[in-house]
Amino acid sequence: MLPSFFDSVVALIIKTSTDLPPDVRAAMKHALHTEEDGTRAKQALNIISQNIDQAAEVEGAICQDTGMPTFEVKTPVGANQILLKKQIKEAIAEATKRGKLRPNSVDSLTGENSGNNLGPGTPVIHFEQWERDDIEVKLLLKGGGCENMNAQYSLPAELPHLGRADRTMEGVRKCILHAVWNAQGKGCAPGAIGVCVGGDRTSGYVAAKQQLFRSLDDLNPDSRLADLEAEIMRTVNTLGVGPMGFGGRISLIGCKVGAQNRLPASFFVSVAYDCWAYRRLGVTLDGTTGAIKEWIYRDPSVPTILMMDQAGFKRTGKEVALRAPIDDATIRSLKVGDVVLISGPAYTGRDAVHHHLASHSPPVDLNGGVIYHCGPVVAKQADGGWKVTAAGPTTSIREEPYQADIIGKYGIRVVMGKGGMGPKTLAGLKEHGAVYLNAIGGAAQFYARCIDRVEGVSLLEFGTPEAMWHLQLRDFPAIVTMDAHGNSLHQDLEQESAKRLAELATPALPAVAEEA
């Protein structure tokens, strides 16, 4: 039965992970041309655009966080969904084995990584029957950083900088604006959002995520929701959050809103935030063979339009070269806004490593060193060594409870990730003489090319994403966004964008009737 189904799903997974669909490419290209030359926003989009092209060229993961695979499957009446589910899982394991997906399925009780992206709840598969003979399979790969920026509001509610959000379309608008503002650089802006008005807490989140399966250029069939989507896109990019939360003109590339009935006592607004690496594709399959009949969202016969006509990251001559280990004087000479090029040894450290270092000595000498918040995609080589195939930064704020203490304890000079960190880390940077560098979120292929080699690995028992990888960097570009003098670009831009958010609190949409 369906002899080609497995191969078709593997092809879908690989293409989704490595090549953005045309509507997302077009939106990102518009963003690239909208931001001003010479700005941090433009520089970030140059790197992102180069990364998109590089990923497609080598069929490598666009972002090292290949996310939680979510499948929406429509089948003819009578199709064996048990068998299809089994083959989808086998396809996920095969794509992971080929290095197209990072092992991301972790036992929530033990912290053990399954190694093949399979386990209870992974992947997510939703089946629906329809009165057609074909099978439709759609896939969304949504990473952890943007998943953490999902939001759910229970109206009426008081929202920071926006005031009261009532059970009206205006209240819904305020929730959406607040969610985009709150994501800042943590969700790898410019992002796209799916929204559900109504439902219960569970169905609202599911329906919000399903909105992300819509094309960016479609038109909502409900005129009221179409007006809301247009109003959001007309105003949200005045917030000034910008790419990576660096400030700029484009904070959002798409807003898709759906509605479900609700209980009289509940009014939820659920927001599913997705990053610029908006990985969503689909296929229509022959119902008897499982072979691909056509692609959804893309036409393989139409050549892909490259994002960049030339190399994305251009040196200006103002970059600061850093080589680890780094001394105190060099670190204190850096200031917010400096672009640095790091060479020498660096060590990855995510959640498990930081928790470990809080109570155990490090397996390497970190004095004067660089900690990179990154869970790379790695491939085992024939000689027993390792090669990094994707290596963008992860969201740093998760390490806020540990970071300042670890900096002081082990003499770390550079912490690198994305999205910035909080007041405890900022104080620790000032006290101990260290800086936070913001790398460009999702630029996994671009940064993999800045890693000369893997020199070793520690704490591999935590799983490949959470292990401490010993990397040798070469001219790895990043921006100083928190310096050793108490300055934080993230803090400043959050405050500035909050003022603009407050300016958008004025009602702009007609209210809907409240219940008696």
Is residue 479 within 8 A of residue 338, CB to CB? The reply is yes
CA distance 374 to 7: 31
Residue intervals of the chain classified under CATH 3.20.130.10 are: 320-495
CATH architecture of 320-495: Alpha-Beta Barrel (3.20)
End-to-end CA distance of the chain: 55
Number of C-beta neighbours around residue 299 at 10 A: 10
What percent of the chain is predicted at pLDDT more than 70?
Answer: 97
| 3-state SS assignment for residue 306 | coil
CA distance 64 to 406: 25
Name the band, by pLDDT with cuts 50, 70 and 90, for residue 85. very high
One-letter identity of residue 54: Q
Segment 19-65, tens digit of pLDDT: 999 999 999 999 999 999 999 999 999 999 999 999 999 999 999 99
- Span 66-73, average pLDDT: 98
**pLDDT the model gives residue 87:** 98
Structure tokens belonging to residue 215: 């094309």
- Span 391-416, average pLDDT: 97
C-alpha triplet 148, 151, 155: angle, nearest 5°: 165
pTM: 0.94
For tokens 């003022």, the residue is 499
Mean of pLDDT over the chain: 95
- Span 392-412, average pLDDT: 97
Please spell the DSSP secondary structure of 245-273, one letter per residue.
GS--S-SEEEEEEEEE---TT--EEEEEE
Residue 76: which of 1, 133, 8 has the closest Cα?
133
Is residue 425 over pLDDT 90? yes
Kindly tell me the burial class for residue 260, based on how many C-beta atoms sit within 10 Å of its own C-beta (0-12, 13-18, 19 or more). Answer: middle
CA distance 412 to 115: 30
Segment 164-207, tens digit of pLDDT: 999 999 999 999 999 999 999 999 999 999 999 999 999 999 99
- Span 429-441, average pLDDT: 97
DSSP state of 283: E
DSSP state of 22: H
Structure tokens belonging to residue 470: 């010993």
CA distance 254 to 252: 6
Which of the pair, 439 or 516, is modelled with greater confidence? 439
Structure tokens belonging to residue 440: 């460009």
**pLDDT the model gives residue 512:** 52
**pLDDT the model gives residue 516:** 38
Segment 234-275, tens digit of pLDDT: 999 999 999 999 999 999 999 999 999 999 999 999 999 999
Which of the pair, 222 or 510, is modelled with greater confidence? 222
- Span 100-123, average pLDDT: 96
**pLDDT the model gives residue 507:** 61
The CA–CA distances, whole Å, from 509 to 194, 308, 449 equal 19, 38, 48
Residues 6+ apart with CB under 8 A from 384: none
C-alpha triplet 303, 309, 310: angle, nearest 5°: 135
The pairing of strands 292-296 and 435-438 is unpaired
Is residue 29 within 8 A of residue 49, CB to CB? The reply is yes
The CA–CA distances, whole Å, from 232 to 148, 176, 192, 269, 350 equal 21, 8, 11, 15, 35
- Span 423-441, average pLDDT: 97
